[in-house]
Amino acid sequence: MASRPVETFGARLRTALDARGPLCAGIDPHSSLLVRWELGDDVAGLEKFAYTVVEALADRVAVLKPQSAFFERFGSRGIAVLERTVDDARSAGALVIMDAKRGDIGSTVAAYADAYLDPSSPLFSDALTASPYLGFGSLEPMYAVAEKSNAGVFVLGLTSNPEGPQIQAATGASGRSVAEEIVTAAAARNAGATPMGPIGVVVGGTVATPDFDLAALNGPYLVPGIGAQGATAADVRRIFGAGARNVVPSSSREILRGGPSVGGLRDAAARTVDELRAMLD
């Protein structure tokens, strides 16, 4: 059973990014990729896929991000694979962001926090993705457990899907967009933390450059879409400017296409890290 990390999430993430490079590699065992790897679309294929990615990358990339839905679709046996994936990845030195995008209110949010952010849980992860669209404050129980456990929460802010702006670009009573309100609220939770706070924001790598200051977050940004979805290191610099140092660029398909060989996955991850370092440093 995992113990509570001694260092804050922000401190662990900063150390990992500096030592291993600015990359979060996704673990997304969707059916088409299992087929591409010549694996069965079943629990055995899921196990082989996930454990190969962990073997290849957990001792060298800063962050691994399993997408929970692709494990959940196999029921309890899939969740058992997810538990081992998280534990093996963290044991090898990678931070784990559980990509589950949970969100609700009250006791339900507290239960999600217990499932993913309490060190006594078999699914304990260094951070969890969450949806704040029932109100940023609706996730308060999750923030509280994360801070107590030295874990993190990444709330959705500016996503790349075409439906996102309908909500995220809408203007509230303050005259600010919903996305800006979310970043502002997260920044308030992170105030005074060093080297950065535990409340991060998800910003897609292909979004338009926002008209508000992202550097004010004092926390990490998780930026999916690097590689196969069209985002580049130049996009990270364009969107975040001086705040790019706290960005966690995420690539899934671009790296996973390097499989099923361990060497192919490692080469794909190394190329991505080199490209990101060259631009962001």
Is residue 101 among the annotated active site residues?
yes
Buried b (16+ CB within 10 A) or exposed e, 245-278: bbbbbbbbbbbbebbbeeeebbebbbebbebbee
Of 48, 65, 101, 148, which one is the catalytic site residue?
101
Query: Which of 97, 106, 112, 69 lies closest to 221, judged by CA?
Result: 97
- DSSP string of the chain, one letter each residue: -----SS-HHHHHHHHHHHH-S-EEEE---HHHHHHTT--SSHHHHHHHHHHHHHHHTTTSSEEEEBHHHHHTTHHHHHHHHHHHHHHHHHTT-EEEEEEEE---HHHHHHHHHHHHSTTSTT--SEEEE--TT-GGGGHHHHHHHHHHT-EEEEEEE-SSTTTHHHHT-B-TTSSBHHHHHHHHHHHHHTT-SS--SEEEEE-TTSPPPSS-GGGG-S-EEE--BSTTSB-HHHHHHHHGGGGGGEEEEESHHHHTT-SSHHHHHHHHHHHHHHHHHHH-
Both structure tokens of 103: 């969100």
Active site positions, annotated: 101
